[in-house]
Amino acid sequence: MEIEKPYLLFLGDAPDQLAAKTALGIVDWRRDWCVGQLRFEGCKADTGLPDLGIEEARARGAKTLIIGVANAGGVLPDHWTATIVAAIAAGMDVASGLHVRLGSIPEIAAAAAAHGRRLFDVRHSAERFATGKGTKRPGKRLLTVGTDCSVGKKYTALALERAMTARGYAADFRATGQTGVFISGRGVSVDAVVADFISGAAEWLTPANDPHHWDIVEGQGSLFHPSFAGVTLGLLHGAQPDAFVVCHEPTRTHMRGVAHPLPSIREVIDLTVACGRLTNPDIGCVGIAINTERLDEDAARRVIAETAQAEGLPATDPVRFGVEAIVDRLAAEFGPP
């Protein structure tokens, strides 16, 4: 299942930029896959792309309408249906990151059947996974892990893919969440698979490859997050990474959504190695990505330098300072492209 490009981004009547986070993420990383945005009257989000109607977007080559907007409860408001049906009738596939399945809405299901178009519900993989086997596969893999949720694991993985590709590495971002799936055109929301198949889904996502090829796998959750650690562990076992990068947000006072304190970076490194060894005995940490969004530049440079010193590893903020330091470490440890 690969979502066809280019995309028309549907923002509907998103009340603010945050509601259009998925669409904004796509534009950040795949600007050239997007022909424009489709907004209703009163929409308060803006990706900066040209506003287009269905017919205009088709004329510019749009193949898939992306429902790139979050909505309370993950439902699809009734007044969006007509636009989605019109896109299907005009010859476009539709991909949604909402919880509700597109095919569960009779008008949409009927239109897709009538016009032979595909519906992608990226939160619900249509793939049937096997249980994970844990057998070592050829190819190299890097996984981003975190001290918490929402600390920059997807961004760091995408930045590494871009920087490694620029240096001549064969590297592919492997998406494990809905925004990532839109950004890569494929992938699986691992938190939405049945629990028995977490590591199996990760094995499917990162199959055997050329020995010099790198899968850069988007991490999920944290081994120290009491809500989601099972997903994190299954993903770690299935991805069997050779290398991992710890992502961290230094100003956070507790784990997202729960009362727990954040683990230290060292605790995350140690537990990731202790658990990851099961499917890759050579697993090792190659760097630390620090999200310094809430710090001024002096404070950011200070916390990065202190962390690098304390852990004996390259540290950086991928957004502010790039990821070259981490790629240098990868090159030193695993060789040139």
* Least distance between a copy of itself and beta carbon 269 (Å): 13
Write the binding mask 105 to 144 for a copy of itself: x where contact by CB under 8 A, - elsewhere.
--------------------------xxxxx---------
Tokens 């903020």 correspond to 317
Tokens 């996974």 correspond to 129
36 binds a copy of itself (CB under 8 A): no
Binding residue (CB under 8 A) for a copy of itself from 233, 265, 285, 323: 233
* Least distance between a copy of itself and beta carbon 48 (Å): 32
228 binds a copy of itself (CB under 8 A): yes
**Nearest C-alpha neighbor of 143 from the set 203, 79, 70:** 203
The pair of structure tokens assigned to 100 is 């509700």
Q: How many residues bind a copy of itself (CB under 8 A)?
A: 38
* CA gap 39, 54 in Å, rounded: 11
* Least distance between a copy of itself and beta carbon 138 (Å): 16
Helix, coil or strand: residue 140: strand
Task: Quote the crossing angle between the two packed helices 297-311 and 265-276, to the nearest 10°.
Answer: 50
* CA gap 229, 247 in Å, rounded: 15
Touching a copy of itself, residues 256-315 (CB under 8 A): 257-260, 271, 274-275, 278-279
Instruction: Return the H-helix or E-strand segment holding 287.
Output: strand 284-290
State which residue, 63 or 237, has the beta carbon closest to a copy of itself. 237
72 binds a copy of itself (CB under 8 A): no
State which residue, 124 or 213, has the beta carbon closest to a copy of itself. 124
Decide: 198 and 229 in contact? Cβ < 8 Å. Answer: no
State which residue, 21 or 260, has the beta carbon closest to a copy of itself. 260
198 binds a copy of itself (CB under 8 A): yes
Q: List residues bridging with 10 in a β-sheet.
A: 38, 67
* Least distance between a copy of itself and beta carbon 268 (Å): 12
Q: List residues bridging with 43 in a β-sheet.
A: none
Q: In what order do the strands lie in the sheet containing 243-248?
A: 171-174, 214-217, 140-146, 243-248, 284-290, 315-316
Among the listed ranges 2-10, 74-82, 184-192, 326-334, the one in contact with a copy of itself (CB under 8 A) is 184-192
Binding footprint of a copy of itself on the chain (CB under 8 A): 131-135, 190-196, 198-200, 223-224, 226-235, 237-238, 257-260, 271, 274-275, 278-279
